[in-house]
Chain A
Amino acid sequence: MLLGKLQKRFLCTYAAAAANQSRRQWPTVLQVTKTNFTEALQQLEDHVHSSDFISVSLRNTGSYSSSWHRLLPIDTSDTAYFKAKYAADRFQVLQFAVCPISVRSSKLISHPYNFHLFPRDVLNLGMPSYTFSCQPSYLTPMAQEGFDFNACIYDGITYLSREQESLSREKIGNLVPSDYMANSISTPSVADSIFSERIRSRVKNWRKAFNDDSCTKKTEEALIKSLQKLMLGSGEYSSRPCLSIDVCSDRQVQLILEVLGEFNDFVPMIVPAKGGGAQAVRIVLTSSEEDKILFEKELQSQEKEQNKHVRGFREVIDLISTSEKPIIAHNSLNDFSFIYSKFIASLPPTFDKFKSSLLLNFPYVVDVGHLMKEVRRHLYTTPDMEISRGGSDGKTLGLGSNAVRIGEIFAKICSVMKVNPESLGKSKDGGLKSYVNNFDNRRTVSVKDLVFIWGFKKGTSAQLLKKILCNSSFSSHDEEAFSDIRLLDKSCAVVAFSKPGSSECFLKAMHSSGGLLSAASYGTYSKACQMGMWEVDLADALDRAVMLDGHDLSGTHLDDPSEIIWDDDLMIDLDDL
Chain B
Amino acid sequence: MNPKRCAACKYLRRRCPKDCIFAPYFPPNDPAKFACIHRIYGAGNVSKMLQQLPDQTRAEAVESLCFEAKCRVDDPVYGCVGIIHLLQTQIQNAQNELAKTQAEVAVAQTKLSQTQNSDF
The answer to whether A and B assemble together is: no
Which residues does A use to contact B, with CB under 8 Å? none
Which residues does B use to contact A, with CB under 8 Å? none
